[in-house]
Amino acid sequence: MKFVYPTLILLVCSIAHQGSAGVLNQPNVIILFADDLGTLDVNCFGSEDLSTPNLNSLADHGIKFTQCYVGSPVCSPSRASLLTGRHPHRAGVPGNVGSRPNQRGMPVEEVTL
Same domain, 31 and 60: yes
Start-to-end Cα distance in the chain: 51
Q: Are 86 and 107 in contact, with CB atoms under 8 Å apart?
A: no
By CB atoms closer than 10 A (0-12, 13-18, 19+), residue 76 is buried
How many Cβ atoms are within 10 Å of 112's Cβ, its own excluded? Answer: 11
pTM score of the predicted model: 0.61
Check whether 93 has a pLDDT greater than 70.
Answer: yes
Output 16 or 90, whichever has higher pLDDT: 90
Q: What is the pLDDT of residue 28?
A: 83
If asked whether residues 58 and 77 sit together in one domain, one would say no
Cα–Cα distance measured from residue 104 to residue 18, given in angstroms and rounded to the nearest whole number: 46
The pLDDT tens digits for 23-41 are 567 778 888 888 778 778 8
Question: For the chain, what percent of residues have pLDDT higher than 70?
Answer: 79
pLDDT tens, position by position, 48-84 = 888 889 999 999 998 888 887 888 888 899 999 999 9
Q: What is the CA radius of gyration of the chain?
A: 23
Q: Which residues constitute the domain of residue 95?
A: 73-107
Q: Can you give the pLDDT at residue 86?
A: 93
Sign of CA dihedral 30, 34, 38, 42: negative
Number of domains in the chain: 2
